[in-house]
Amino acid sequence: MAGYILALDQGTTSSRAILYDDHARPIKMAQQPTTLQTPKAGFVEQDAQQIWQTQ
């Protein structure tokens, strides 16, 4: 029986998912961009709801 590994990567500019087979070869990848918000100089924020929706 073949096994699979699903890796999730939450970066600062995108959410990524990669499916690997049981030999660690990537089978499929999906990526959704996320945005950074800069409310004022020196501050960076991310919208938690947007991150959740891109998973």
Give tens-digit pLDDT for 1-51. 579 999 999 988 899 999 999 999 999 999 999 999 999 999 999 988 888
Q: Under a CB-based contact definition with an 8 Å cutoff, are residues 8 and 55 in contact?
A: yes
What range does the domain containing 41 cover?
A: 5-53
Query: Among 44, 43, 33, 38, which residue's Cα sits nearest to residue 11?
Result: 33
pLDDT at 28: 97
Task: Count the domains in the chain.
Answer: 1
pTM higher than the cut 0.75: no
